[in-house]
Structure 1
Amino acid sequence: MTPHPHGPRHTAPPTPPAGHAGHAGHAGDAGHTAHAGHAAHAAHGGHTATGGHTGSTGTEPDWDALAVHLEREAELKVPFLEEAAAWLHDLLGPLDVTRVLDLGSGPGVTTVALAHAFPGAETVAVDSSAALLERARARSEREGLAARITTRAAELPAGLPDLGSAELIWTSNVVHHLGDQRAALETFAAALRPGGVLAVREGGLPTRFLPRDIGVGRPGLQARLDAAEEDRFSAMRAELPDHTRTVEDWPALLVAAGLAPTGSRTFLTDLSAPLDPVARAHVRARVERLRESLADDLSAEDLATLDTLLDDGSAEGLLRRPDVFFLTATTVHTAVRT
């Protein structure tokens, strides 16, 4: 059921049980901004959000070209990122955190949130896109954090051993880009210092931005977009080098990597209708990418509906209709090296 766009605003619901794995959330963050298997990945609530760029395969989008989109989506989710960083600070407790790795940093929005939460640490933005790392450097300078934030270009997971170890490793929508997800988590866990925490941002719920019935075309458009994206995402993963099908029970995978789970938490990003111009433009860009990437997977009726939504001169278009909102849930799974 599509969440109501005018409900109460929350930044984080109650913490779910530690074993909560969450839904794959392929339709949303930077979410999945937010999956790499299709151009709409930049709309994924998860890469979204903060990048999650790990390298290039035949199915990967042009991350450099998506830099503006990725940064804008991450900026929409700053409250979630700041709250997640504060939660990680509490999880690490008295441990002296001197180094933080942000794997798949993208434009550095998360890197900055982590640097603010851990003022005594060197925070390292790691990505393979030069354009995204340049945005991370520029952001750190604007925030007055250039002395504490460094950037490193690396392909993951192969490049991780050259990056050194850390008390906190954050990875945002990175693991699902790697063929063997379990092996990747084992590599990440090995870079933790004793007592350190690995935070894996994977899963959540698909992003919603319109009511179920929008008065144009057949109701339930977003559910059909979700289904088409899921198929595209599965096809993307099947083409990855060393692809291994894995049950995406993230707490269990963290245990298999030799870590002790310390909880999973799901955060809401809830921007109510009517959206401000920046958020509205972002939703339109998401829909445009969906229209491009799913053109072969949708019915003629649904494609016509998307064309109406993308008509900036129409009262039914996304830039003018009053019911456009932005709602997504992002899950972060954590575990400690004992």
Structure 2
Amino acid sequence: MSDTPPHAAHHGHQHGNEDQAGMLDLGEEVLAEHIAAIAAWLPVEGSPRRIVDLGCGTGAGTFALLARHPEARVTAVDSSAEHLDRLREKARAQGVDERVRAVQADLDADWPDLGTPDLVWASASMHHMADPDRALRKVHDILAPGGLFAVVELAGVPRFLPDDAPQDRPGLEQRLHVAADRFRAEHMPHRGADWGPMLTAAGFTLAGKRDLSVHIDGSCDAAVGRYALANLQRVREAVADQLSPEDLAALDRLLDPTAPDGILHRDDLAVCTERTVWAARRNE
């Protein structure tokens, strides 16, 4: 699962995918307990044996689901070869490679054969679909009767700095996100959608919905600093031309890994983000 920055969609060039893969790994490390809690909340019936992870990235959801359901096998689907290579490496390192099938596919085109899963998981991926209604119908068609579809989407973007930071340009992060929201609205129109009615229209029965807020103190966790740095660097790439010279200079000081008051050296960071989870069932 990922708080994907504005321009880092699933269809990127190789260097961008490599950069994004590292950030997805950081997100998995920082948000591990949160992801596990979502997997535990899902109202699955029995013990699912066949799971599909749509838009799996480098495997945050895949590995949480494998841990939650030790008898299950997961088919992990992504358009990025780099993401899937990283996922395979981690599966081998964890000794679960025999339980993972990695499939490279563009889900806006023809869908591969994904079998008849008992559970389909899509975390921060549905809003990237060019035609999400088509994707929802596809999932409905492949799910086993009584199977569950979990849609995990971003209810907000991650925030890292206090409102009064940095000292010379307080409120900088809020201004960054205002600029980024304009980018997201243009390039990802389905981000922030209410997936409940869309799931119902696709033939599902809504089995549960949950809003989650996350606050992770970064004062004792160096991974939070690295995660914040990676996220804000990507935001900078998307919105630099929309910032005032003063804000851009302040942001660059924050992103300087050698600056004493830069992101990597601050003790007031936190990961603050929100998720909404919809669980929908295919009727018998």
Q: For the residues of structure 2 that align with 1:113 and 1:313, how far apart are their CA atoms? A: 35
User: 2:83 is matched with which residue?
Assistant: 132
Q: What secondary structure sits across from 2:274 in the alignment?
A: strand
Residue 93 (1) aligns with residue 45 (2)? yes
Sequence identity percentage: 36
Give a deviation string over 1:281-305, Cα, whole Å, max 9, x none: 2212222222222111111221121
Change in Cα spacing, 1:256 to 1:224, as seen in structure 2 (3 Å) is same
Residue 79 (1) aligns with residue 33 (2)? yes
List runs of 5+ in structure 2 lacking aligned partners. Answer: none
Residue 179 of structure 1 deviates from its aligned partner by 1.9
Residue 312 (1) aligns with residue 257 (2)? yes
Q: What secondary structure sits across from 2:57 in the alignment?
A: coil
What root-mean-square deviation, in Å, do the aligned CA atoms of Structure 1 and Structure 2 show? 2.3
1:289 to 228, 231, 234: 234
Residue 330 (1) aligns with residue 275 (2)? yes
Task: Tell me which protein shows more helix as a share of its residues.
Answer: 2
Change in Cα spacing, 1:64 to 1:312, as seen in structure 2 (3 Å) is closer
User: 1:234 is matched with which residue?
Assistant: 185
Q: For the residues of structure 1 that align with 2:51 and 2:70, how far apart are their CA atoms? A: 11
1:299 to 226, 244, 248: 244
Q: For the residues of structure 2 that align with 1:275 and 1:296, how far apart are their CA atoms? A: 34
Change in Cα spacing, 1:207 to 1:148, as seen in structure 2 (3 Å) is same
Change in Cα spacing, 1:75 to 1:203, as seen in structure 2 (3 Å) is same
Aligned length, in residue pairs: 283
Q: For the residues of structure 2 that align with 1:118 and 1:235, how far apart are their CA atoms? A: 38
Q: For the residues of structure 2 that align with 1:271 and 1:184, how far apart are their CA atoms? A: 33
User: 1:67 is matched with which residue?
Assistant: 21
Give a deviation string over 1:189-229, Cα, whole Å, max 9, x none: 22111000111111322211111111434432222112111
Q: For the residues of structure 2 that align with 1:92 and 1:66, how far apart are their CA atoms? A: 31
Q: For the residues of structure 1 that align with 2:173 and 2:159, how far apart are their CA atoms? A: 7
List runs of 5+ in structure 1 lacking aligned partners. Answer: 1-28, 42-52, 239-244
Change in Cα spacing, 1:193 to 1:104, as seen in structure 2 (3 Å) is same
Q: For the residues of structure 2 that align with 1:319 and 1:267, how far apart are their CA atoms? A: 27
Per the normalisation by structure 1, the TM-score is: 0.77
Q: For the residues of structure 1 that align with 2:230 and 2:257, how far apart are their CA atoms? A: 12
Q: Is the 8 A contact 2:29 2:223 kept in 1?
A: no
Residue 157 of structure 1 deviates from its aligned partner by 4.1
Structure-to-structure mapping, 1:146-157, within 5 angstroms: 146-157=97-108
Per the normalisation by structure 2, the TM-score is: 0.90
